[in-house]
C-alpha cells in the first residue's frame, strides 16, 4: 500500500483479528451505525455501518483539487437550474425515451408555466470522483457524477475519522493517526438547511425530511437533524404517503403537512422510479414543487444532476456558456471531466455506438438513474447496445470512459462477512452547500468529504446498495 499501511501489518492475521474487534466496537462507540436489514424501520437492533479497517491512501494534491473545485460545481449546478433553454435542449432526446425523466420534466414545465413561488434556492450536492492512474504513475482526478438529490453519508462520514484514528493508535501508527483529517459534512449540510430556513422567515415552520419507506440509514439523517435541533430549528420526518394524506397549500401557497407549516423540504427520497409508488406520489411531488417551501433540490436542480446534462457539459464550448468571463473556472472544472459521449440518433451517436461495441472494456454505459448499481460494463455493454443501437431507446444512456484507479489492499468490515484482505478501489465524494436568494448567492461552500471503498471485483454500487463501505483518506 503506497505510503499507506505496510504490507507486513496487513498480513499479520493475529493483529488484524484483534484490530477488527477493536474497530467494530469503536464504530459503535462513535455512532457509525445502521439498522439491520431484517428490521429496517426499527432501532431496537443496530449494527456498525460497513467500513474499512484502515484508511486508504489518497494523493494530497488531487484531494485538495477536489475540494477547491467544489464551489465552482455548486455555481455550475445552480446556473444550469436557471437556464430553461439549456435544460430543454439537453434533455430533449432523453425525455422522449425515459419515462422517469419525462415525468420529472413535466413537473418542471408545469412549475415554469405557473411561475416559481419561491426565490430561495438550496443545493446540497456531492460530486464523486475516482483517481485515474496514468501510465507515468501519476493520478488524475476524474468526476464520476454529481448528485443533486439525496446525497448521502454526510452524517456517518462526520463520525468515521475518530474510528480510524483509534484503530491506527492501537496498531502503533500514531503518526498516521494524526494524518486523518477532521471532517464534519453533517454540520455543513445543516448550515445550508438552517440558512434556507432562516430566509424563509417563520420560526414556527419546520424542515421536513422526505424519507424512504425502509430506513436502515436513519442515523446518517439524524446527525444532520441533530445539528438543526442544536440551532433550535424544528424538523419532522415524513414519507410521500404521509404528505399524500395530510399535505395541502393555503391561498399563499404555503405548504402544510399535519397542520405544520413547512419551510424547507429536504428530499432524501424521490430520486428513483420505484420511489413513486403511485400517481399520488407524482401529484405530491408537484404539490411540493408548487409550494412556497424551499425545496432541496427544486425540480430544476434535480434535472441539472442527470447523466445527460453531465455529458452535454463535456461538449466544447458548453462550460463557457455558464462562465463566459472566467476561463480559470472553466479550466478547473474541465480538468476533472472524463471522456463523455452522446448516444443521440445521428452520425455522432452512431460513432459512439461503434466505438463502444469495438472496445467495450474501455467504457461504462450509464442510464439516467441515481442510487448506485445501475451502470453497465464490459460484454454487457454489447448486449444492451446491440438491442437498442437502431432505436431511439439508446438515447436513454450516455457512454463514459472507464476510469482506471490504482487498487490497494484493505479489509472490508461488514456484519456477517468473513475477515479477509481485499483488493480495493476507492471513490472520493465532496459535499457542497449553497443558498441563493433571487440573484444573490448568500452561501457557497465546500462542506466536507466522503471516501467509499469497494472490492475491485464489484464494478458498481454504493454503501446503501451493500457494495461499498465507508472509509477515510490518508493523505500521502
Q: Which is the catalytic residue, given 12, 320, 362, 371?
A: 371
Cβ atoms of 2 and 476 within 8 Å: the answer is yes
Q: Which is the catalytic residue, given 24, 254, 366, 436?
A: 366
Note if 152 is an active site residue.
yes
Binding-site residues sit at 126, 145, 147, 149-152, 215-217, 268-271, 307, 366-375, 377, 400-403, 427, 452, 454, 460, 463-464
Q: Which is the catalytic residue, given 140, 154, 452, 462?
A: 452
Question: Scanning the structure block, which residue is given the C-alpha cell 454487457?
Answer: 380
Q: Which is the catalytic residue, given 165, 370, 448, 462?
A: 370
Note if 202 is an active site residue.
no
Q: How many CB atoms lie within 10 A of CB 390?
A: 11
SS3 call for 122 = strand
Q: Which is the catalytic residue, given 126, 173, 191, 290?
A: 126
Q: Which is the catalytic residue, given 31, 123, 145, 429?
A: 145
Cβ atoms of 161 and 182 within 8 Å: the answer is yes
Calpha distance 377→85 (Å, rounded): 33
Cβ atoms of 289 and 299 within 8 Å: the answer is yes
Note if 452 is an active site residue.
yes
Binding-site residues for Mg(2+) sit at 145, 147, 370
Binding-site residues for substrate sit at 126, 149-152, 215-217, 268-271, 463-464
Q: Which is the catalytic residue, given 307, 389, 394, 436?
A: 307
Note if 394 is an active site residue.
no
Q: Which residues are paired to 422 by β-bridges?
A: 410
Q: Which is the catalytic residue, given 147, 158, 410, 444?
A: 147
Note if 307 is an active site residue.
yes
Binding-site residues for ATP sit at 145, 307, 366-375, 377, 400-403, 427, 452, 454, 460
Closest CA to 373 of 265, 458, 282, 286: 458
Torsion of CA 65, 68, 70, 71, to 10 degrees: -160
Give CA separation, 425 vs 56, 451, 460, in Å: 9, 10, 11
Cβ partners under 8 Å of residue 311, min gap 6? 340, 341, 342, 398, 400
Cβ atoms of 403 and 428 within 8 Å: the answer is no
Number of residues written out for the chain? 476
Note if 188 is an active site residue.
no
Note if 457 is an active site residue.
no
DSSP states along 203-259: TT-EEEEE--S--TTHHHHHHHHHHHHHTT--EEEE-HHHHHHHEEE-TT--EEETT
SS3 call for 29 = helix
Q: Which residues are catalytic?
A: 126, 145, 147, 152, 307, 366, 370-371, 452
Amino acid at each position: 500500500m503506497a505510503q499507506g499501511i505496510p504490507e507486513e501489518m496487513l498480513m499479520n492475521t493475529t493483529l488484524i483479528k484483534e484490530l477488527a474487534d477493536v474497530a467494530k466496537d469503536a464504530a459503535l462507540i462513535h455512532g457509525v451505525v445502521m439498522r439491520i436489514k431484517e428490521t429496517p424501520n426499527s432501532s431496537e437492533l443496530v449494527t456498525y455501518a460497513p467500513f474499512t479497517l484502515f484508511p486508504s491512501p489518497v494523493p494530497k494534491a488531487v484531494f485538495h483539487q477536489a475540494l477547491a473545485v467544489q464551489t465552482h460545481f455548486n455555481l455550475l449546478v445552480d446556473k444550469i437550474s436557471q437556464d430553461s433553454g439549456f435544460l430543454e435542449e439537453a434533455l430533449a432526446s432523453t425525455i422522449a425515451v425515459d419515462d422517469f425523466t419525462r415525468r420529472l420534466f413535466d413537473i418542471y414545465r408545469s412549475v415554469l408555466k405557473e411561475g416559481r413561488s419561491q426565490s430561495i434556492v438550496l443545493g446540497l450536492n456531492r460530486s464523486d470522483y475516482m483517481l485515474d492512474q496514468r501510465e507515468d504513475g501519476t493520478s488524475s482526478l476524474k468526476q464520476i457524477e454529481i448528485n443533486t438529490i439525496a446525497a448521502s453519508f454526510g452524517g456517518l462520514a462526520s463520525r468515521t475519522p475518530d474510528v480510524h484514528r483509534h484503530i491506527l493508535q492501537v496498531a502503533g501508527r500514531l503518526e498516521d493517526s494524526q494524518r486523518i483529517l477532521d471532517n464534519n459534512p453533517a454540520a455543513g449540510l445543516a448550515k445550508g438547511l438552517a440558512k434556507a430556513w432562516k430566509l424563509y422567515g417563520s420560526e414556527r415552520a419546520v424542515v421536513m425530511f422526505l424519507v424512504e419507506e425502509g430506513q436502515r440509514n436513519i442515523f446518517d439523517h439524524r446527525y444532520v437533524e441533530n445539528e438543526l435541533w442544536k440551532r433550535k430549528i424544528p424538523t419532522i420526518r415524513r414519507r410521500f404517503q404521509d404528505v399524500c394524506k395530510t399535505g395541502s397549500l393555503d391561498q399563499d401557497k404555503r405548504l402544510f403537512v399535519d397542520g405544520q407549516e413547512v419551510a424547507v423540504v429536504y428530499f432524501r427520497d424521490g430520486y428513483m422510479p420505484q420511489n413513486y409508488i403511485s400517481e399520488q406520489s407524482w401529484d405530491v411531488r408537484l404539490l411540493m414543487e408548487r409550494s412556497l417551501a424551499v425545496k432541496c433540490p427544486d425540480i430544476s436542480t434535480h434535472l441539472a444532476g442527470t447523466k445527460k446534462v453531465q455529458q452535454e457539459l463535456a461538449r466544447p464550448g458548453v462550460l463557457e456558456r455558464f462562465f463566459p468571463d472566467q476561463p480559470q473556472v472553466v479550466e478547473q472544472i474541465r480538468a476533472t471531466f472524463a471522456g463523455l459521449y452522446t448516444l443521440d440518433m445521428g452520425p455522432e451517436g452512431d460513432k459512439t455506438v461503434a466505438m463502444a461495441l469495438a472496445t467495450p472494456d474501455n467504457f461504462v454505459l450509464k442510464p439516467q438513474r441515481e442510487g448506485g448499481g445501475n451502470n453497465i460494463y464490459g460484454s454487457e455493454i454489447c448486449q444492451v447496445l446491440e438491442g437498442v443501437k437502431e432505436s431511439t431507446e439508446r438515447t436513454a444512456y450516455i457512454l463514459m470512459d472507464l476510469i482506471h484507479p490504482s487498487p490497494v489492499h484493505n479489509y472490508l468490515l461488514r456484519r456477517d462477512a468473513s475477515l479477509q484482505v481485499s483488493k480495493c478501489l476507492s471513490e472520493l465524494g465532496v459535499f457542497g452547500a449553497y443558498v441563493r436568494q433571487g440573484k444573490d448567492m448568500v452561501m457557497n461552500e465546500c462542506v466536507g468529504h466522503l471516501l467509499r471503498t469497494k472490492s475491485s471485483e464489484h464494478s458498481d454500487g454504493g454503501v446503501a446498495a451493500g457494495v461499498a463501505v465507508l472509509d477515510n483518506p490518508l493523505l500521502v
